[in-house]
Amino acid sequence: VDDLAGRVVFFAVPAEEFVEVEYRLNLVKSGKLSFLGGKPELIKHGHFDDIDMAIMIHTHSDESLTKAAASASSNGFVAKMIRFVGKAAHAGGAPHRGINALNAAQIALNAINAQRETFQDHDSVRVHPIITKGGELVNVIPDEVCMETYVRGRTAEAILDASMKVDRALRAGAMALGATVEIETLPGYMPLKNNADLQALYGKNARARFGEDEFCTVGHRTGSTDMGDITCIMPAIHPYMSRASGPGHSVEWHISDKEMGYVEPAKSLSMIAVDLLYDRATEAKAVLTNYKPEMTKDQYLDFQNNLFQAEVYDGE
């Protein structure tokens, strides 16, 4: 450690997965949080102000990848909380007196699906809504239906364009039934852009530890991570290491090799830290010299805060 010119800071980041959206949104509205994800909140509170670069490793279960792997980039997203409001009525005796919020939501979902051919392949747009409330009782015309969705894309521009199209589809569902739709758009995560210099160090060390054939690079990935927010303001990487099993985000996913799952990522991170900070931090200085931030911290926070939007559209 005495030969290293710099400091290594360990971060335990809560709430990396952007879930429990309604609960977290209520925390934002009550002033307990500013954002709904871990690293954006840490950025807001200045915890990265004295950090020059960041590295982490994500365990993967992808059998098509080698023991160690790295992508060029991955999607960012905005999230939406959606509420269709109709009018309750007897579903058998007088359905014509109601306004079916579930039908409005279904038309909106079909309208979103009709937009998919307008999403260009290079933008890697993903829209995957769920219905979190579909009605109260089977014999009552639903007067309230709630949905959540992400709108993902390769770039901020692609995300905002797809978000506009999704909003238009939601309004169409409300208009068709004469319902009202409430749309809350929330800042999610920024697109990830892995730093090439840091990635090269990770690849060099992975080949040294596991063999020349056990490191690969892949192109763009369509998942999202709050590490994307970090890559907007400083050099950072989010590579992968193997030995999990099961589909990601499923109950079957688990660490199947504890050495690879827990120990090797720690060793790899340590090796990168040594490479960066040895010899008066020559490598780290080169990384910083070559890096041009996409945004300053203030620009990043302004961009994210401006994504908070609320709309009430009356389809009558």
108 token code pair:
């909106």
Q: 240 near 60, Cβ under 8 Å?
A: yes
Q: Are 21-74+191-301 and 76-189 the same fold in CATH?
A: no
Tell me what pLDDT residue 1 has: 75
DSSP 8-state class, residue 94: -
Residue carrying the six token digits 């409005």: 104
Third-level CATH fold of 21-74+191-301: Aminopeptidase (3.40.630)
pLDDT digits (tens, 9 = 90+) for 162-180: 999 999 999 999 999 999 9
Q: Which of 105, 112, 118 is nearest to 175 (CA)?
A: 105
Task: Provide DSSP, 226-274.
Answer: THHHHHHHS-EE--EE--EES-TTSTT-EES-HIIIIIHHHHHHHHHHH
Residue 78 has pLDDT above 80, yes or no: yes
Tell me the pLDDT band of 2, cut-offs 50, 70 and 90: confident
pLDDT digits (tens, 9 = 90+) for 288-312: 999 999 999 999 999 999 999 999 9
What is the average per-residue pLDDT within 147-160? Answer: 98
What is the average per-residue pLDDT within 231-240? Answer: 98
Tell me what pLDDT residue 36 has: 97
The CA-based diameter of the chain, rounded to the nearest angstrom, is 82
CA atoms within 13 A of residue 103's CA, in its CB half-sphere: 15
Domain coordinates in residue numbering, the chain: 21-74+191-301, 76-189
DSSP 8-state class, residue 186: E
Inter-CA distances, 142 with 10, 137, 179, 182, Å: 49, 8, 11, 16
Architecture of the domain defined by 76-189: 2-Layer Sandwich (3.30)
Run of H or E including 183: strand 180-189
